[in-house]
Amino acid sequence: MDFLKVSDLNLIYNVQSPFSMEGLFLVNDKDQSRLSFFELRYQFMGLILLFCKEGSMKIRVNGIDYFLKQHAILTILPEMIVEPQVCGEHFKSIVFVMSYDFIEKFTILPQLISNTEVLNSPLIYAEEQDNKIIEEISQLILKYYDQPKTITLNQMIQYLVFSLITAVSKSYESLTQKENLQRNRINNITDSFFELLNEYGYFQRNVSFYAEHLHLTPQHLSSLIKKRTGKSVKSWVGFAVINKAKEYLNNTSLSIKEISYKMEFADDSLFCRYFKRYIGQTPNEYRNQ
């Protein structure tokens, strides 16, 4: 199963400049030509938010079947395996497909993707007030997404998407408080792992570091995290490292050597190889693009 990219979707559905948008693709039931999206089986290196407006749909995410009906919110985290099963005759939805690069600047992203409630329950039904806010923001994004893009319009859409992600994150928090969910041992381990990752992830790159702090063997920790999130510990660590590296490259004038030192790589060549393995570009190529 290949990794899906926003550029692939723009190509498949012939969305061209100035209407296309780098890093963001929308599927809306008003555009019938894009409904074949719900037949695709894929993994995606980014975030997908699916809002069910009407009807129903059965979809499999990481081997677990979910049944969506009106007002359902499905949050599909990075690298999860998605396999649509059955779409009801009257199924209508809005789907936001967002790449890492499009949303990485928003601080809410790490909080959302490391939220164990999202990992444990990607499908939720938000409270009425939260649903109303999500619907209003979604309609604004749809309105501007279909217009020819300018730099200003791109920025407006990006901040509206940030608002949308924030609203979804708030919906999870509201449900958590309301239902007072009981967390089992696996959930507690997952929470603790992400706390460690947020603090140490950009320079502690060995699985054994996290396993020792959680009093587990590396194999046991890897198994638990993979089962719970669909991604290995190494993948999550890689995500943290690359995000920090991008932050330095985008927001500072530090040299590659200085960045590699700050991130505790043995030398800058090792940092460059690590970065290119994940991104497909050297740090300098990424910075100068």
Residue 140: is its pLDDT beyond 50? Answer: yes
Strands 123-125, 3-4: parallel, antiparallel or unpaired by DSSP? unpaired
What is the percent of the chain with per-residue pLDDT over 70, rounded to a whole number?
94
What percentage of the chain carries pLDDT values higher than 90?
57
Residues in Cβ contact with 284 at an 8 Å cutoff, skipping those fewer than 6 apart: 256
Q: Label the pairing between strands 3-4 and 42-44.
A: parallel
Asked if the bond preceding 18 is cis, omega within 30° of 0, the reply is: yes
pLDDT at 201 over 90: no
Structure tokens at 60: 């499999």
The DSSP string of 5-26 is: -HHHHHHHTT--TTT--TTEEE
**Residue of 39, 37, 41 whose CA lies nearest to 61:** 41
pLDDT band at 202 (very low <50, low <70, confident <90, very high): confident
Residue with structure tokens 């994940």? 278
| Average pLDDT taken over every residue of the chain | 88
What is residue 176's predicted lDDT score, i.e. its pLDDT? 61
Query: Are the C-beta atoms of 92 and 42 separated by less than 8 Å?
Result: no
Note the pLDDT of residue 179: 52
**If you write DSSP's letter for every residue of 174-216 in order, what string do you get?**
HHHHHHTPPP-HHHHHHHHHHHHHHHHTTT---HHHHHHHTTS
Q: Are 21 and 149 in contact (CB under 8 A)?
A: yes
pLDDT score at 182: 43
pLDDT in tens, 103-113: 777 777 767 77
Rounded mean pLDDT of 82-102? 90
Place of tokens 């980014």: 46
Task: Answer whether residue 238 shows pLDDT above 50.
Answer: yes
**Helices 185-200 and 233-251: crossing angle, nearest 10°?**
30
- Say if residues 77 and 230 touch (Cβ distance below 8 Å): yes
Do 121 and 178 meet the contact criterion of CB atoms below 8 Å apart? no
Residue 255: pLDDT over 60 = yes
Number of C-beta neighbours around residue 239 at 10 A? 21
Question: What pLDDT sits at residue 190?
Answer: 87
Give me the pLDDT at residue 180, please. Answer: 47
The pLDDT value given to residue 178:
58
What mean pLDDT do residues 130-151 have? 94
Among left, alpha and beta (phi > 0; psi -120 to 50; other), residue 25 is beta
Domains in the chain, start-ordered, CATH in brackets? Answer: 3-179 (2.60.120.280), 185-288 (1.10.10.60)
| Per-residue pLDDT reduced to its tens digit, 13-70 | 999 999 999 899 999 988 888 889 999 999 998 899 999 999 999 999 988 899 999 9
Q: What is the pLDDT of residue 163?
A: 93
The string of pLDDT tens digits covering residues 149-194 is 999 999 999 999 999 999 998 888 766 665 544 456 777 888 899 9
Angle at 217 between CA 213 and CA 219, to 5 degrees: 125
